Amino acid sequence: MSAGAALLNRLINSSGSRKQLWLALGGAFAGLFLMGACSQAYITFNRILSKQKDLLGADFLVVNKKVSLLNTISGSAGRFSNEDIKALSLLQGVSNVGAFRSSDFKVRAHFQAGLGTDIPGLTTDLFFESVPDGFLELDDVHWEWQPGDAELPLIIPSDYLKMYNFGFARGQGLPIVPESVLKSIRFDVLISGNGKSGYYKAYIAGFTERVPSVLVPDAFLEWANKEYGSGSNPRPDRLIIAAKDPASPAISRFFSEHTYEIAGGDKLKTSRINTLLLMVLSVVLTLGFLVVVLSLLGLIQFSQILAFRAARDIRVLFLLGYPPGMISAPIALAFGRMLAGVAVVSFLASGMAHYFMYRFLKEKGFQASAWPSWESLLLMFLVAAILYGYTLVSLRRSVRSICRE
């Protein structure tokens, strides 16, 4: 180490300023750890939750009118009028209202035994419904149909599969079927009505937990109702609503007053809890960021006090011919080493916190990686680098200002 570096290192290690340095470094550790651990938890929970994501987005609701003896007698049988739809559209927080289209023809599905699975041959009557495509989150699903297409994609409630697997299959001694296998099966669908009939090869394109219906592309149902339907255009009995906050008190009150029912309401609550969890993590992450900012202020102040205390020596070194950059370099290096140490300890601590979270989640039956995510490490590295960068800039400014005096 050069004599100049040794001199400056001696100054940085002066006992008077150590307390503040340790305080600032402690703050940097706390902030980095909080950010690392929270970003890690955020990413982990987000991954777990996205695996449970429904094809119907969290911001959508499916509602129907409660079927009561009164509206059964009156004949309206729970259908929505144009006024009902208009009132819903005007509700605060509601951005779009779409109507379910129902099939106006007979549908019969036939599963052929075999087909590479142990599913027995099965014939059943079905019904179809559709919603405008914009209401579905169909990133990974082929959901297009045009007249002439022989294949028909379907979205069915995941409860149907559960009913088969854990009810019917168990009771009949049949094997259970995973989603992936069911998606690979093509089965026949016979549509008839209006004196016509047609065969389609249907397949299950996806599952939903929020819509208790068999969905087909809206384009298909629009075409098929004209082709095979009676020509009547009944009012919808279910609506799909896009809302910024589906569980807002205003919407809940409106539904309660009009005796509307929300399909999959319990799932909506789960979705709200998930959103709240991610929100809490975001708040703690922000808190970590604030602690980092505070520690940054501490470090900047420390570097300024350090430069102020060493002002006479810095000035003399400059007058001897030391450039400002060379004067601040040993202090910058010492800061760099200290912050790198703090960053490594924070990395390790947040890694350990993640491991404990992983074990906890595993015990609860959730799948998560035991290793910290690279995004989280990158975030910590970037924050530590920014912390160092700002401290360095402040230190250099102080040194240059002293040299200029």
Applying CB under 8 A, which part among 44-52, 71-79, 193-201, 314-322 lies near another protein?
314-322
Site for another protein in 5-24 (CB under 8 A): 6-7, 10
Please pick, from the candidates 227, 237, 261, 313, the single residue that binds another protein as defined by CB under 8 A: 313
Please pick, from the candidates 62, 63, 241, 403, the single residue that binds another protein as defined by CB under 8 A: 403
Applying CB under 8 A, which part among 50-58, 243-251, 320-328, 337-345 lies near another protein?
320-328
Please pick, from the candidates 157, 324, 330, 372, the single residue that binds another protein as defined by CB under 8 A: 324
Instruction: Please say which residue, 267 or 400, places its beta carbon nearer to another protein.
Output: 400
Residue 403 Cβ vs another protein, minimum distance, rounded to whole Å: 5
- Our finding on whether 320 is near another protein (CB under 8 A) is yes
- Our finding on whether 309 is near another protein (CB under 8 A) is no
Please pick, from the candidates 55, 239, 300, 317, the single residue that binds another protein as defined by CB under 8 A: 317
- Our finding on whether 69 is near another protein (CB under 8 A) is no
Instruction: Please say which residue, 296 or 395, places its beta carbon nearer to another protein.
Output: 395
Encode the chain in three state secondary structure. CCHHHHHHHHHHCCHHHHHHHHHHHHHHHHHHHHHHHHHHHHHHHHHHHHHCCCCECCCEEEEEECCCHHHHHHCCCCCCCHHHHHHHHCCCCEEEEEECEECCCEEEEEECCCCCCCCCCEEEEECCEECCHHHECCCCCCCCCCCCCCEEEEEEEHHHHHHHHHHHHHHHCCCCCCHHHHHHCEEEEEEEECCEEEEEEEEEEEEECCCCCCECCHHHHHHHHHHHCCCCCCCCCEEEEEECCCCCHHHHHHHHHCCEEECCHHHHHHHHHHHHHHHHHHHHHHHHHHHHHHHHHHHHHHHHHHHHHCHHHHHHHHHHCCCHHHHHHHHHHHHHHHHHHHHHHHHHHHHHHHHHHHHHHHHCCCCCCCCCCHHHHHHHHHHHHHHHHHHHHHHHHHHHHHHHC
- Our finding on whether 322 is near another protein (CB under 8 A) is yes
Residue 10 Cβ vs another protein, minimum distance, rounded to whole Å: 7
- Our finding on whether 393 is near another protein (CB under 8 A) is no
Please pick, from the candidates 316, 382, 385, 393, the single residue that binds another protein as defined by CB under 8 A: 316
Residue 15 Cβ vs another protein, minimum distance, rounded to whole Å: 14
Applying CB under 8 A, which part among 109-117, 139-147, 311-319, 389-397 lies near another protein?
311-319
Applying CB under 8 A, which part among 2-10, 171-179, 222-230, 349-357 lies near another protein?
2-10
- Our finding on whether 372 is near another protein (CB under 8 A) is no
Applying CB under 8 A, which part among 4-12, 75-83, 265-273, 380-388 lies near another protein?
4-12
Cβ atoms of 12 and 352 closer than 8 Å: no
Residue 301 Cβ vs another protein, minimum distance, rounded to whole Å: 24
Burial environment of residue 372 by CB neighbours within 10 A (0 to 12, 13 to 18, 19 or more): buried
Please pick, from the candidates 302, 318, 358, 388, the single residue that binds another protein as defined by CB under 8 A: 318
Instruction: Please say which residue, 221 or 402, places its beta carbon nearer to another protein.
Output: 402
- Our finding on whether 323 is near another protein (CB under 8 A) is yes
Please pick, from the candidates 73, 321, 364, 365, the single residue that binds another protein as defined by CB under 8 A: 321
Distance CA 267, CA 286 (A): 28
Residue type, 249: P
Write phi, then psi, for 151 (nearest 5 degrees). -100, 145
Applying CB under 8 A, which part among 32-40, 55-63, 318-326, 334-342 lies near another protein?
318-326
Q: Which residues bind another protein (CB under 8 A)?
A: 2-4, 6-7, 10, 313, 316-326, 400, 403-404
